[in-house]
Amino acid sequence: MGTVDHRPKITIKPMLNQYSNLAEAVNLEQEDTRDKKEKRQDARKFIVDLEISNHHLNCLECPKDGDCGLEKEALATGMMHTTFHGRKIKDHKIDCTNPFFEYDPEKCLLCGKCVQVCHLRQGRDVLSMGRRGIETRIIPGYGDTWDKSVCESCGNCVAVCTTGALTTKNHKSYRKWETTTVQTTCPYCGTGCQIDMVLKDGKIVDAEPANGPANKNLLCVKGRFAAFNFAQSKDRLTKPLIKKNGKFEKVSWSEAIDYIAKRFTELKTKYGPDSLAGFACSRSTNEDDYVLQKMVRTAFGTNNVDNCARVCHAPSVHGLGMTLGSGAMTNTIKDITTDVDAILLIGSNTTEAHPVIGVQIRSAVQHGAKLIVVDPRNIDLVKNSKLHLQLKAGTNIALINGMMHVIIEEGLADMNFIEQRTEDFDKIKALVADYTPEKVAEICGIDANLIVEAAEMYAKAKKAPLIYCLGVTEHSYGTEGVMSMSNLALLVGKLGKPGCGVNPLRGQNNVQGACDMGCDPFDFPGYQKLNTPGVVEKFEEAWGTKLNPNVGKTSTQVMPAAGEGKIKGLFIFGEDPIVTDPDTNEVRHDLENLEFLVVHELFMTETAEYADVVLPGLSYLEKDGTFTNTERRIQRVRAAIKPLSGVKQDYDVFTEIATAMGYPMHYNSASEIMDEIAQLVPTFGGVSFDRLENPNGLQWPCLDVHDPGTPIMHVHEFTRGKGLFMALPYHPAKELPDDKYPFVLSTGRELYHYNTRAYSERTEGITELAGLGRDKSYIEMNQVNADELGIKDGDRVRVSSRRGTLETYANVGQRVLPDAAFMTFHFPDGNANIVANPMTDDIARCPDYKVCAINIEPV
Residues forming the site for ligand MGD (CB under 6 A):
189, 281, 283-284, 308, 311-312, 346-349, 352-354, 374-377, 379, 393-394, 396, 469-471, 474, 507-508, 573-577, 580, 600-603, 605, 617, 619-620, 650, 746-749, 751, 753-756, 758, 825, 832-833, 836, 849-850
Cβ at position 754, least distance to Mo ion in Å: 10
| Least spacing, CB of residue 695 vs ligand SF4, in Å | 16
E-only strand ranges, 169-260: 180-185, 194-200, 203-209, 241-244, 247-250
Q: Which does 526 bind (CB under 5 to 8 A by kind): ligand MGD, ligand SF4, Mo ion, none?
A: none
**Residue among 94, 130, 83 nearest 110 (CA):** 130
- Tell me the closest approach of the beta carbon of residue 469 to Mo ion, in angstroms: 9
Residue 165 binds what, of Mo ion, ligand SF4, ligand MGD, none (CB under 5 to 8 Å, by partner type)?
A: ligand SF4
- Output the CA–CA distances (angstroms, integers) from residue 703 to 636, 717, 739, in the order listed: 19, 16, 57
Task: Indicate which of ligand SF4, Mo ion, ligand MGD, none lies near residue 601 (CB less than 5 to 8 Å, by partner kind).
Answer: ligand MGD
User: CA geometry: angle at 835 spanning 440 and 816, to 5°?
Assistant: 45
Residue 567 CB, shortest distance to Mo ion, in Å, is 23
The answer to whether 507 contacts Mo ion (rule: CB under 5 A) is yes
How many angstroms separate the CA atoms of 184 and 192, rounded?
Answer: 10
CB of 820 to ligand MGD, least distance (A): 9
What single-letter amino acid sits at 662? G
Helix axes 314-323, 478-491, angle to 10 degrees: 40
How would you class 256 by CB atoms within 10 Å of its CB: exposed for 0-12, middle for 13-18, buried for 19 or more? Answer: buried
170 vs 605, beta carbon nearer Mo ion: 605
In the complex, least distance from residue 125 CB atom to ligand SF4, rounded to whole angstroms: 8
| Residue 195 makes contact with Mo ion by CB under 5 A | no
Contact 356, 214 (CB under 8 A): yes
User: Would you tell me which residues interact with ligand SF4 (CB under 6 A)?
Assistant: 108-114, 117-118, 122, 124, 126-127, 138, 151-157, 160-161, 163, 165-166, 186, 188-189, 191-193, 215, 219-220, 222-223, 354-356
The CA–CA distances, whole Å, from 291 to 476, 690, 701 equal 32, 21, 21
Is the CB of 275 or the CB of 510 nearer to ligand SF4?
Answer: 510
Instruction: Count CB-CB contacts under 10 A for residue 332.
Output: 23
Neighbours of 710 (CB within 10 A): 19
| Cα 610–Cα 613–Cα 619 angle in degrees, nearest 5 | 95
Residue 193, binding choice from ligand MGD, Mo ion, ligand SF4, none, Cβ under 5 to 8 Å by partner class: ligand SF4
Q: How many residues bind Mo ion (CB under 5 A)?
A: 2
Q: Which of 466, 468, 453 is nearest to 493 (CA)?
A: 466
* Binding partner of 152, given Mo ion, ligand SF4, ligand MGD, none, CB within 5-8 angstroms per partner class: ligand SF4
Cis peptide bond prior to 63, omega within 30° of 0: no
Q: Do the Cβ atoms of 20 and 47 come closer than 8 Å?
A: no
**Which residue, 98 or 649, has its beta carbon nearer to ligand SF4?**
98
* Closest approach of ligand SF4 to the CB of residue 638, in Å: 16
Helix count and strand count (H, E) for the chain: 28, 32
495 binds, among ligand MGD, Mo ion, ligand SF4, none (CB under 5 to 8 A by kind): none
In terms of CB distance, is 496 or 507 closer to Mo ion? 507
- C-alpha to C-alpha distance for 554 and 551, rounded to whole angstroms: 9
To ligand SF4, the closest distance from the beta carbon of 404 in angstroms equals 32
Binding to Mo ion (CB under 5 A): which residues in 310-329? 312
C-alpha–C-alpha distance, residues 326 and 323, integer Å: 8
Over the window 459 to 498, marking each residue x when it contacts Mo ion by CB under 5 A and - when it does not, the resulting string is ----------------------------------------
Number of other CB atoms surrounding residue 544 within 10 Å: 10
- Cβ nearer to Mo ion, comparing 364 with 558: 558
The smaller minimum CB distance to Mo ion, of residues 82 and 479, is found at: 479
Residue type, position 118, single letter: C
Residues near 239 by Cβ (< 8 Å), separated by ≥ 6? 250, 251, 616, 646
Nearer to ligand SF4 (CB atom), residue 149 or residue 293: 149
Nearest-approach distance from CB 226 to ligand SF4, in angstroms: 9
The amino acid at 303: N
Angle at CA of residue 168, ends 166 and 171, nearest 5°: 115
CA-based R_g, the chain, Å: 29
Shortest Cβ 137–ligand MGD spacing (Å):
31
Of ligand SF4, Mo ion, ligand MGD, none, which one does residue 183 interact with (CB within 5 to 8 Å by kind)? none
- Positions touching Mo ion (CB under 5 A) are 312, 507
